[in-house]
Structure 1
Amino acid sequence: MALKRMDNVGIVVEDLEETIEFFTELGLEFEGRATIEGEWAGRVTGLGDQHVEIAMMRTPDGHSRLELSRFLAPAVVADHRNAPVNALGYLRAMFTVDDIDETLERLYKRGAQLVGEVVQYKEIYRLCYIRGPEGLLIGLAQELN
């Protein structure tokens, strides 16, 4: 049995438009939007009859995707967006960028906030964590070689 690929990472948000704009500014490509609803979808998620708006965002290399979801029904039941880095469960999505400083300048205009500071790991990476739309934790890495 061989794993073929990781298809996508799902993130539930309240403001789908703002989140699409933020990840577009980061450099992901908008693939499309759809509404997912009905009994068949609820059988997959275990939520019963659900109504969800989704947007697919693709990395420029075409190998990774984010599925952004906004639940219309059933209502959202928990909020983990502002959990600290050492909380159990979802931590963050990490993206490699060409230039961390230039990327931060663009994302600050979209409300991003630096969590700690930009640090350098040996002569390999510059790294940082930011809070994006709705407090989502996002990691940025710049390869130095």
Structure 2
Amino acid sequence: MTVHRMDHVGVVVEDLAAALAFFVELGLELEGEATVEGEWVDRLVGLEGVRADMAVLRTPDGHGRVELSTFHTPVATSAAPRAPVNTPGIPRLTFSVDAVDDVLDRLRAHGGDLVGEVTQYGDVYRYCYVRGPDGVIIGLVEDLR
């Protein structure tokens, strides 16, 4: 056996409180928060003198988790990407939602910005991308079946 399951997706953000508010508005539930530092985390991430705050959120079904972290030290050497969706290496997190338009309106109040347009693929689903805190791209999919 090679993989049991996907454990979580991690995203580094500048403003942890704003990112938490964005993902909670999306419908994720806060699982826990912590501050991490010390030799073990330095070795894990390959940086020296790490001190970071993190929060883990889970999807309502309990199967998916998103880890948000903000690093106090060391200082980042480059800014978060705000590249177009087709740029190699730009991650997208996609969530199944009840109503794309409703979720989109709620996320806009938390800085969410529609990337393209809300589109419909036949009678199968409605889909859009939203750029959230620190350039994170979120896909919203509404199943029409």
Q: TM-score, normalised by structure 2?
A: 0.94
Aligned residue number for residue 70 of structure 1: 70
Moved over 4 A (4+): none
Tell me if the contact between 1:81 and 1:137 (Cα under 8 Å) persists in the aligned partners: no
- Map 1:1-145; keep pairs closer than 5 Å: 1-145=1-145
Q: Secondary structure at the match of 2:104?
A: helix
Q: Secondary structure at the match of 1:87?
A: coil
Shift of 1:90: 3.0
In structure 2, distance between residues paired with 1:143 and 1:116: 19
Letter in 2 for 1:21: A
Q: TM-score, normalised by structure 1?
A: 0.94
Letter in 2 for 1:84: P
Identity of aligned residues (%): 52
Tell me if the contact between 2:118 and 2:128 (Cα under 8 Å) persists in the aligned partners: yes
Q: How large is the RMSD of aligned CA atoms in angstroms?
A: 1.2
In structure 1, distance between residues paired with 2:95 and 2:126: 12
Tell me if the contact between 1:96 and 1:141 (Cα under 8 Å) persists in the aligned partners: yes
Shift of 1:42: 1.1
In structure 2, distance between residues paired with 1:80 and 1:134: 6
Long gaps (5+) in structure 1: none
